[in-house]
């Protein structure tokens, strides 16, 4: 298996931690997020990783190196301008027919090898790992009858269960034909493009450990979880 890791963002939501270092190198316990992720990938059979960089690119390259200490071959590409999340894949030469793609700022005990086999068995163009999250509205929600424009229901700060993307994907190389060259193109753009063409997009629901280190609260939770011996350590 080959994995592409997206690590070019500025991590603005995680400030002040990301003022002097890139988000993938923010420490969880005694390891950087990206170190933990690479260790998990190696455990599940990934032998080669391509890391897409932008912000603080040289710092990440110097810290991670060529992959010797992970037992992997690690290669890098650097965006000369912001290309969002999916367009950087067009810069990578010789990608295999199917490969993993993931954000470089997540923690999970997902079995990447099982996820990838599921993708291959279904012969999918794109498989998306998903996680059920409960989201609370901070407002009173009024249900309105559109014909009479009158209130027909009310819920105070309701909670909703939603299926969210984990930032972990398995892709067939052919989906890159939908990605414009040299222009910003994100995961949202890819989803819309595939849906417009009527393509089936399988999901892989997961209920284990997953945390996207996007905000200071997430960072603090990750360190608390680390101290209790979470399975991704």
Tell me the pLDDT tens digit for each residue of 143-153: 999 899 899 89
Name the domain count of the chain: 1
- Cα-Cα-Cα-Cα dihedral of 6, 8, 10, 14, to 10°? 30
Q: Is residue 16 part of a domain?
A: yes
d(C-alpha 90, C-alpha 165), whole Å: 22
Q: Is residue 146 part of a domain?
A: no
Digit-coded pLDDT (tens) for 55-70: 778 888 989 989 898 9
d(C-alpha 52, C-alpha 85), whole Å: 9
**CATH code (residue 195):** 3.90.550.10
| Domain residue limits at 20 | 2-135+164-227
Digit-coded pLDDT (tens) for 22-44: 778 888 878 888 999 999 999 99
Lowest mean pLDDT among 10-19, 142-151, 205-214: 10-19
């Amino acid at each position: 298996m080959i994995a592409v890791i997206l690590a070019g963002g500025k991590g603005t939501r995680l400030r002040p931690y990301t003022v002097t270092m890139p988000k993938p190198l923010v420490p969880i316990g005694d390891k950087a997020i990206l170190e933990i992720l690479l260790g998990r990938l190696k455990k599940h059979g990934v032998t080669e990783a391509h890391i897409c960089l932008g912000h603080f690119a040289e710092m990440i390259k110097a810290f991670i190196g060529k992959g010797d200490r992970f037992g992997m071959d690690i290669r890098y590409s650097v965006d000369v301008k912001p290309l969002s999340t999916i367009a950087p894949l067009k810069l990578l030469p010789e990608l295999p027919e199917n490969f993993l793609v993931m954000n470089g700022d997540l923690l999970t005990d997902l079995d990447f090898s099982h996820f990838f086999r599921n993708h291959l068995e279904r012969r999918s163009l794109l498989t998306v790992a998903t996680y059920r999250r409960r989201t609370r509205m901070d407002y009173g929600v009024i249900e309105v009858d559109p014909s009479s424009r009158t209130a027909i229901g009310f819920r105070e700060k309701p909670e909703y269960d939603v299926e969210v993307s984990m930032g972990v994907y398995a892709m067939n190389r052919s989906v890159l034909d939908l990605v414009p060259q040299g222009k910003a193109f994100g995961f949202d753009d890819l989803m819309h493009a595939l849906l417009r063409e009527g393509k089936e997009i399988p999901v892989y629901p997961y209920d284990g450990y997953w945390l996207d280190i996007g905000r200071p609260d997430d960072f603090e939770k990750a360190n608390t979880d680390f101290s209790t011996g979470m399975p991704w350590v």
